[in-house]
Chains A and B, each alone.
Chain A
Amino acid sequence: MADDAMKTDVQLPVATDLKKPRPKKAPELPILERRNWLIHLHYIRKDYETCKAIIKEQLHETQGMCEYAVYVQALIMRLEGKIQQSLELFQSCAILNPKSSDNLKQVARSLFLLGKHKAAIEVYNEAARLNQKDWEISHNLGVCYIYTKDFRSAEEQLNLALQLNKHDLTYMMLGKIHLLQGDTEKATDVYKSAVEFSPENTELLTTLGLLYMQLGKYQKAFEHLGNALTYDPNNFKAILAAGSMMQTHGDYDVAMNKYRVAAYSVPESPPLWNNIGMCFFGKKKYVAAISCLKRANYLSPFDWKILYNLGLVHLTMQQYASAFHFLSAAVNLRPRMSELYMLLAVALTNLDDADNARRSYEQAVQLDESNLLVNLNFAVFLYNQGDKKAALLQFQEMERKVNSQVDSNINTEFDPELVEMAQKLGAALQAGENLYWSKPGKDSKTSQRSSSGKPSSSQQPLGTNQALGQAMSSAAGYSKSMQITAEPEADVSSAPSPPTVDPGEPEPEDEDEVEETAEPDKLKEKSKPKAVAE
């Protein structure tokens, strides 16, 4: 019905159009731009089909002379992925109106999208001559320079763009340049000012948070990540990063809540399932932990962190044969990490393969720089093997590390379990050796003893405390000692014969260890999303 009515209507005006102008002298020529507003209106509403129909009609009427119609047609083509065609249309626009910098900008943009960065730079420079004060030109020039690896010019142009007008995108690019040049400090500064300018941009907040995390400023990192989550509770990167920090503090339930949100939006992320797995591990749900980690491993088979965690969980589960496979796979993927060799040695010890365990320990010691656990575990192993002399050497090496750490104030609080184990071993290796340890050891031990009550008490509130700002501040201090403790436990479980080890203890120790080892992994995972963001 409506169609019929329209059709008859359509014919009538046409007929009158034809009749009216003829008898008169000169027909009124239609203005070329008369439908530009309608084209624009449909274009910005993303009603591209209608828009294309109107453009076609308009171009037919003006025989291709309507600059704006050609311009919008080219824009739509570019959105449809026909970049080469759009480039040609923009070039014809530039011929119709050579004085418009817009046309040149679009030509350059199409060239840029085609990967012809040098040509794009030339056209942008030409456009800049027509319009000096356009942030867009400066910004895009900067981006082109990034792709041609001319970071200095890029930085110059982007700063120029920021002077003309501040845009989040320009900040992102400028920060990216600094990161590409490895200048994290400068990048942090750029992002800081960006966040000041646009405090609700979750992408900027997340990037800044991750940068702080890289720099070890956990409190600030958490602040920014928390802000990002306030504005966008579904921000995957922020969830993963914040969740891993919560995990570091033993806040497994809160972290799991966050991960559930993330798992809904990105169900196939290997780091996410790794972190979920380690959450379960922290909650002693080992089977679930293995399930999640295996899924992570399935999704990303060459990620050594996931393999490391799988090895750890299997060690805890006393599935030494499986642990051996995961750890040896991890070692193959990442051959220069001492902790991996140490865990491998622990697995081998339990598999009664003393020769290979010893070789693995030797490799670990050789690669290690500051981890006390490696030496302590090796010493325990050697002692159990009856090689007291070598054990003593390792023990002294550990003491040397302790002293240097205490001297340089890197770490003055040691994990109580590590200290206890060291005490026992020291005693077993006789008093003379004990003396070496006892001086720093007693200090640290007393501090440990006194603090052993503290950490647990302070740790508990951290876990339950959901105002995580506090938790984060203490996190930075604890993370190191926590990592250390994790490893001694592994030792204990691996070396069943040390005289002082209680059979009942290993389990709680294991849990602690697991959590702690999980932490470094998670941190690394976090750094991964960062890389993606950059």
Chain B
Amino acid sequence: MSSVSQELKDTSVASSKWLDAHYDPVANLYTFSSCIALSDLHGDGENKLVVGDLGTGVCNMKLKVYRGTGLLSESTLLDLPTGMVSFLMDLHEPRTPAIAVASGPFIYVYKNLRPYFKFTLPSLEVNPLEQDVWSQAKEDMIDPMTLKEMLEGLRDKAEIPLSVRSLRFLMLEPQEMENFVLLHKEQPIRRQTVITCIGTLKKNMADEDAVSCLVIGTENGDVYILDPEAFTILYKMSLPSTPTLMDVTGQFDVEFRITVACRNGNIYILRRDSPKPKYCIELSSHPVGLVRIGKNVVVGCSHEALHGYTQKGKKLWTAYLPAPVTTMALMDLPTRGFQAVLVGLANCEVHMYRDKNLVSTIKTPDVVTSICFGRYGREDGTLIMTTKGGGLIVKILKRTAVFEDRDSAPGPPIAQSIRLNVPKKTKLYVDQTLRERENAVAMHRAFQMDLSRLRLAAARAYVKALESSLTPMSASLTEPLKMNAVVQGLGPSFKLTLNIQNTAACRPVMNLAISFLYDENLYSMKTAFFKIPLLVPGLNYPIDTFVECLSDKGISDIIKVFVLREGKSAPLLTAHINMPVSEGLALN
């Protein structure tokens, strides 16, 4: 209820704050916030939308450029784009930014949408022993089987992991090995890692159009800062885990701060002059989004919470979200001095937070997977979102929109005004209440009397059953027996099966007999009295006899079964069998 009414309120508010500029539900975009950028690619003062599209996730990767509502150009990418940034790499006029697309171990730099440069990550150190083994193989000094054994030995002990080639070789079937070695032995061994995130860092000026360095994080936990013109590595830092999200601030030549969210659930803060992380924030769940707002870091976690931290790693606040976070982005309106965090949620909403206050909510037709806010075309406050289904949404912030700087969540919960569902009582109930008030004593006595009677009747029945050994278990301690009887057949002859069991722990029971008592006009039995064998404890003895029904009038009677012990007149067990009507005769 509360969420419904809140939604109504928020959508009406939201619709007054945003203009729906464009919605293409079949734009066929599969991308993340890290692969979206707004950039003035042609230096004509009009910002284009650049999207690194992951295609199907396997192939058909594209670099797409949108202008206005239309696709301006698209060029094929060789591999999945991990991240994409637009940056100014030199001071040449006209100042057109370059696009850097990170994919695999490479960064492809595009200028004017044409391939300009390809940067390859430096390869990692290769195990010298591995190198040795392969060079021996190259000279044909060892056969593939020996090579395999040696590599296996290396894999299990070595400090430095094996290269892809060796690992792939170890997976091969023996007959394929020879070819593989022949094919690969001439090539030098390389061990490569891949880029996992990318960012930019101003070189030496804080201006909007200053030259920027590229900052990249790699799978093996390194962070590199690259020179914008020569693409040499200016600085290298290492992290304890693989970086996933990155935020960079400052200037390379002065002072900078890199906030990195890692795959182990920690956030590390790196600073100039320290190759190791300066501060560490340990989260209790994985970070999904990381946004720096002013001097604070806002982290969206996978357990549906948004945390605020200072840049030294001190926790400031926590806000709980109604659904898992899908993506996050900064909303920065420098002209109005307004900054907020946009959080895309799995329940098809985008929440806008200022500190821990929910300022506004945007409903979207699908789950948003990437958000980008900035200048698009010539409009400053544009919100670009792509959805899980591949849609593209463009919204423009109204110039009249005002965001109140406090929590828009309502004060008391809505449920407080819902009436309690108190069960109603009928007039009859009230009447009975009055009756009880007047006649409480009589009612109580009558009840007590009946209760006593009931107890008496129950006790009597019980005693009677005990006396006539009618219970299914015998009460005697020396012969603990259990019996039940089954009648089979339609008549006139029936099969009577008595299941007798000795329930004693270890003592057998002997000298027992069974006798039947019945109306001789109605039934006849061949033997109405017989002995039963020794009963071994725990076993079930089915004893069959046959009964013939003599009457053809469709009547039935009770047959009584007694289990007797030799020399005792009182039965150990009694069973009354209600015989069924003999249908065989009745049908005739």
Q: Which residues of A contact B (CB under 8 A)?
A: 2, 6, 9-10, 13-14, 25-27, 29-38, 40-41, 43-47, 50, 53-54, 57, 63, 65, 102, 135, 165, 167-169, 198, 200, 233-234, 256-261, 263-265, 267, 276, 280, 287-288, 290-292, 294-295, 317-322, 324, 350-353
* B32 & A26 in contact (Cβ 8 Å cutoff): no
B327-351 contact mask (Cβ, 8 Å, vs A): 1 or 0? 1000000000000000000100000
* A287 & B244 in contact (Cβ 8 Å cutoff): no
B236-247 contact mask (Cβ, 8 Å, vs A): 1 or 0? 000000101000
* A10 & B171 in contact (Cβ 8 Å cutoff): no
The residues of A that contact B219 with a CB separation of less than 8 Å are 33, 36-37
Return the 8 tightest CB-CB contacts between A and B, nearest first. Answer: A264-B415, A9-B60, A13-B59, A320-B440, A37-B196, A44-B286, A291-B423, A351-B444
Q: Does B56 contact A (CB under 8 A)?
A: yes
A63 to B168, CA, bound (A): 9
A31 to B192, CA, bound (A): 7
Stretch touching chain A among B181-189, B268-276, B398-406, B537-545: B181-189
Pairs across A and B, CB under 8 Å, 17 listed = A26-B187, A27-B183, A32-B164, A37-B196, A38-B80, A45-B324, A50-B57, A53-B57, A169-B284, A200-B318, A256-B420, A259-B420, A264-B1, A264-B413, A287-B429, A292-B422, A321-B447
A386 to B437, CA, bound (A): 26
B55-69 contact mask (Cβ, 8 Å, vs A): 1 or 0? 111111000000000
* A319 & B437 in contact (Cβ 8 Å cutoff): yes
* B420 & A263 in contact (Cβ 8 Å cutoff): yes
* A40 & B183 in contact (Cβ 8 Å cutoff): no
* A46 & B324 in contact (Cβ 8 Å cutoff): yes
* A319 & B423 in contact (Cβ 8 Å cutoff): no
* A36 & B415 in contact (Cβ 8 Å cutoff): no
Contact with A351, one of B1, B32, B288, B441 (Cβ below 8 angstroms): B441
A47 to B318, CA, bound (A): 24
A264 to B415, CA, bound (A): 6
Contact with A260, one of B264, B390, B420 (Cβ below 8 angstroms): B420
Contact with A135, one of B82, B184, B282, B423 (Cβ below 8 angstroms): B282
Given contacts A267-B421, A320-B440, A352-B441, contact A46 B416 (CB under 8 A): no
A63 to B164, CA, bound (A): 12
B1-33 contact mask (Cβ, 8 Å, vs A): 1 or 0? 100000000000000000000000010100010
Contact with B418, one of A32, A264, A290, A295 (Cβ below 8 angstroms): A264
The residues of B that contact A53 with a CB separation of less than 8 Å are 57
CB of B324, distance to nearest CB on chain A (Å): 5
CB of A9, distance to nearest CB on chain B (Å): 4
Which of A26, A34, A35 has the most chain B CB atoms closer than 10 A to its own CB? Answer: A34
Given contacts A46-B324, A234-B413, A291-B423, contact A321 B32 (CB under 8 A): no
* B168 & A46 in contact (Cβ 8 Å cutoff): no
B470-514 contact mask (Cβ, 8 Å, vs A): 1 or 0? 000000000000000000000000000000000000000000000
Q: Does B565 contact A (CB under 8 A)?
A: no
The residues of A that contact B326 with a CB separation of less than 8 Å are 45
Contact with A38, one of B57, B186, B421, B436 (Cβ below 8 angstroms): B57
Which of A9, A43, A234, A292 has the most chain B CB atoms closer than 10 A to its own CB? Answer: A9
- Nearest B residue to A325, CB-CB: B447
The residues in B between 213 and 253 inclusive whose CB is less than 8 angstroms from any CB of A are 219, 242, 244
Q: Does B254 contact A (CB under 8 A)?
A: no
The residues of B that contact A258 with a CB separation of less than 8 Å are 416
- Nearest A residue to B161, CB-CB: A97
The residues of A that contact B436 with a CB separation of less than 8 Å are 319-322
A34 to B196, CA, bound (A): 9
B402-414 contact mask (Cβ, 8 Å, vs A): 1 or 0? 0000000000110
* A65 & B167 in contact (Cβ 8 Å cutoff): yes
CB of A493, distance to nearest CB on chain B (Å): 13
The residues of B that contact A324 with a CB separation of less than 8 Å are 444
* B183 & A291 in contact (Cβ 8 Å cutoff): no
* A351 & B440 in contact (Cβ 8 Å cutoff): yes
* A33 & B167 in contact (Cβ 8 Å cutoff): no
B425-440 contact mask (Cβ, 8 Å, vs A): 1 or 0? 1000110010011001
The residues of B that contact A9 with a CB separation of less than 8 Å are 55-56, 59-60
CB of A225, distance to nearest CB on chain B (Å): 16
The residues of B that contact A14 with a CB separation of less than 8 Å are 59
The residues of A that contact B56 with a CB separation of less than 8 Å are 6, 9-10
* B104 & A257 in contact (Cβ 8 Å cutoff): no
Q: Does B119 contact A (CB under 8 A)?
A: no
The residues in B between 376 and 420 inclusive whose CB is less than 8 angstroms from any CB of A are 388, 390, 412-413, 415-420
The residues of B that contact A320 with a CB separation of less than 8 Å are 436, 440-441, 444
Given contacts A14-B59, A36-B242, A44-B288, contact A2 B28 (CB under 8 A): yes
The residues of A that contact B164 with a CB separation of less than 8 Å are 29-32
Q: Does B302 contact A (CB under 8 A)?
A: yes
Contact with A290, one of B317, B415, B425, B440 (Cβ below 8 angstroms): B425
CB of B512, distance to nearest CB on chain A (Å): 43
Q: Does B127 contact A (CB under 8 A)?
A: no
Contact with A317, one of B346, B388, B412, B433 (Cβ below 8 angstroms): B433
The residues of B that contact A102 with a CB separation of less than 8 Å are 264
Q: Does B363 contact A (CB under 8 A)?
A: no
- Nearest B residue to A353, CB-CB: B444
Q: Does B576 contact A (CB under 8 A)?
A: no
A169 to B196, CA, bound (A): 31
The residues of A that contact B424 with a CB separation of less than 8 Å are 291
* A31 & B57 in contact (Cβ 8 Å cutoff): no
CB of A14, distance to nearest CB on chain B (Å): 7
The residues of B that contact A31 with a CB separation of less than 8 Å are 104-105, 164, 192-194
